[in-house]
A and B are shown apart, each in its own frame.
Chain A
Amino acid sequence: MAVASAPLRILIGKVGLDGHDRGVKLIARALRDAGMEVIFTGLHQTPEQVVNTAIQEDVDAIGLSILSGAHKTLFRRVRELLKEQDAEDIALFGGGIIPDEDVATLTADGVKALFRPGAPIQEIVAFVKGLKPQG
């Protein structure tokens, strides 16, 4: 008999200074439509704010959007803070204008996936669903 498991809780937001929120909002809507609980932080979050909210809200994953080129600094900082707070079980993924080389470096640093312009939303939804096997 299948046991209904709790829905995935996902924090979706923008870190850093850029305000390009078209993609991140579509993804937030798509994850919500797929039955997940989405905590949407809005714009201009610092890594500290994101990690604090993620822990308080007990999320399964953090999805961040950065289109300003600051991805290396910001994703790494979020990873560091998760480590410091002993919260590395929270999966980190994201998207933006990110060159191949940086995708490789950041995934090696523990970012689970990075999506770029043109990535199908369903692929992102499937990825997030796959983060926690459903009972």
Chain B
Amino acid sequence: MAGSSRLTSVSDWLRPQQNRMIVLLVLAGVAMLIPLVVNNYVLEVLTNAWFYTILCLGLNIVVGYAGLLDLGYAAFFAVGAYTTGILTSKFGVNFWLTIPVAVSCSMLAGLIIGGPTLRLRSDYLAIVTLGFGEIVRIIARNLDITGGASGLIGIDRPSIFGLELSRGIHFYYVFLLLAILACFVSYRLQNSRLGRAWQYVREDEDAAEAMGIGRVAVKLYAYVIGAMFGGVAGCFFAVKMTAISPETFTFSQSVLILLGVVLGGMGKIPGVIIGAFALVLFPEVFRGLGSMRMLIFGIVMLVIMLYRPEGIWPQKQREM
């Protein structure tokens, strides 16, 4: 395939550290300056893409690094969003103070669901996480404090150094910065003792155990860190939208995030970013097709998966 070899040669060129830094700086520059030249609609779409980048990178830690299939990731995102939503709108807590609380709550949710279930092997885990995702949504739908089916409205916009974050461009930069932070954290984790442990467990659980790696603890780590990413994204999502409802956190939301990870290439940071962008941009670009666009989106994904089952981003080439 011509496309594939071109992508491989791009990745060859990207191998030296220096070339990588150049590309990263150029991309960061473009991302920083782009709001100055585009209209509000495009800005909104790009903001959304950065938002999904954070979620996909979070799920990538669970699915890509540790190899655990999670079908209920939206739950962690929901816990973050609702914690911030409730604390700011019902108790008048300053937004910035809700972040640590929301992150702790989503990490706790990760522990609660992960603790008893991570002993299961992958297929069972997928079903349990699916159930957990639905439980969280249904709880949110039925409690008074979460506003029931209509959700929470009137969540205050936060301000920083006297500037109220209310315009599209503000949130563009907020989500861009968070996405960069998420990349940085993912990158550091990937190349660490813990990152390697995830890979060992993913490749062969028993051999990893025999090497002195506690598989349950290592998986739980991945789960909790993934939940943390979701929680942070949820906090900022709540204040950006100023309203949240249980229908934002459905099973299809979880699947969409998973799709971004798989589409771009599990375990590969640039791949996951491309996946997140594809997820958001494709339906927008083909808006003109009307009701056909989701069908075409589906077909395109099918084709990508058929020809590049490892994801869009090329596999790391190693010296033979």
Co-complex (A, B): no
